[in-house]
Amino acid sequence: MRKLKKHFLALADGSIFYGDSRGAAVDAVGEVVFNTGMTGYQEIVSDPSYAGQFVTLTTAEVGNYGCNPEDMESRGLFLNGLVVQELNEPSNFRSTGSLAELLSAGGVPALAGVDTRRLVIRLRSDGTQKAFLHGSEADITPEEAVRRANEWCGLDGQDYATRVSVTEPYEWNDSGDLRVVVYDFGVKYNILRQLAAQNLRLTVVPAGTSAAEVLALHPDGVFLSNGPADPAAVKGAIDAARTLIGKVPVMGICLGHQILGIAAGGSCGRLKFGHHGCNHPVQDLRNGAVAITSQNHNFALDADRIPGVLEVTHLNLNDQTVEGIRHRHEPMFAVQYHPEAAPGPHDATPIFREFRDMLER
Supply the pLDDT for residue 343.
87
pLDDT over 70 (residue 142):
yes
Residue 2 lies inside a defined structural domain of this protein = no
Gap between the Cα atoms of 225 and 194, Å rounded? 12
Supply the pLDDT for residue 250.
98
Name the pLDDT band for 2 (thresholds 50, 70, 90). very low
Name the pLDDT band for 3 (thresholds 50, 70, 90). low
**Residue range 271-281: mean pLDDT, rounded:** 96
- The 8-class DSSP code of residue 302 comes to -
* C-alpha count within 13 angstroms, C-beta hemisphere, residue 56: 30
Q: In the chain, how many domains are there? A: 2
Among the three residues 151, 175, 205, which one is the final residue of a domain in this structure?
Answer: 151
**Residue range 176-183: mean pLDDT, rounded:** 97
Query: Residue 72's domain is classified under what CATH number?
Result: 3.50.30.20
Catalytic site residue from 73, 134, 254, 280: 254
**Residue range 322-343: mean pLDDT, rounded:** 97
Gap between the Cα atoms of 108 and 111, Å rounded? 10
Mean model confidence pLDDT for the chain: 97
258 and 295, same domain (yes or no): yes
The answer to whether the beta carbons of residues 306 and 312 sit under 8 Å apart is yes
pLDDT tens-digit readout, 6-39: 899 999 999 999 999 999 999 999 999 999 999 9
179 and 282, same domain (yes or no): yes
Among the three residues 124, 151, 178, which one is the final residue of a domain in this structure?
Answer: 151
280 classed as catalytic: no
92 and 168, same domain (yes or no): no
93 and 171, same domain (yes or no): no
169 and 310, same domain (yes or no): yes
**Residue range 150-178: mean pLDDT, rounded:** 96
Supply the pLDDT for residue 344.
86
Supply the pLDDT for residue 325.
98
The answer to whether the beta carbons of residues 113 and 86 sit under 8 Å apart is yes
Preceding peptide of 219 cis, ω within 30°: no
165 and 272, same domain (yes or no): yes
pLDDT tens-digit readout, 61-89: 999 999 999 999 999 999 999 999 999 99
277: left (phi over 0), alpha (psi -120 to 50) or beta: left
Name the pLDDT band for 286 (thresholds 50, 70, 90). very high
Percent of the chain with pLDDT over 90: 97
Residue 329 lies inside a defined structural domain of this protein = yes
Catalytic site residue from 257, 280, 314, 338: 338
Name the pLDDT band for 4 (thresholds 50, 70, 90). low
Supply the pLDDT for residue 174.
86
140 and 201, same domain (yes or no): no
Which domain covers residue 20, as residue numbers? 7-151
Supply the pLDDT for residue 1.
37
338 classed as catalytic: yes
CA 137 to chain centre: 30
Gap between the Cα atoms of 322 and 325, Å rounded? 8
Name the pLDDT band for 125 (thresholds 50, 70, 90). very high
The answer to whether the beta carbons of residues 9 and 30 sit under 8 Å apart is no
**Residue range 107-115: mean pLDDT, rounded:** 98
Residue 30 lies inside a defined structural domain of this protein = yes
Contacts of 108 (CB under 8 A, 6+ apart): 23, 24, 45, 77, 79, 80, 81, 82
**Residue range 259-271: mean pLDDT, rounded:** 98
**Residue range 38-47: mean pLDDT, rounded:** 96
38 and 142, same domain (yes or no): yes
347 and 201, same domain (yes or no): yes
Among the three residues 151, 173, 206, which one is the final residue of a domain in this structure?
Answer: 151
**Residue range 221-233: mean pLDDT, rounded:** 98
227 and 136, same domain (yes or no): no
pLDDT over 70 (residue 126):
yes
314 classed as catalytic: no
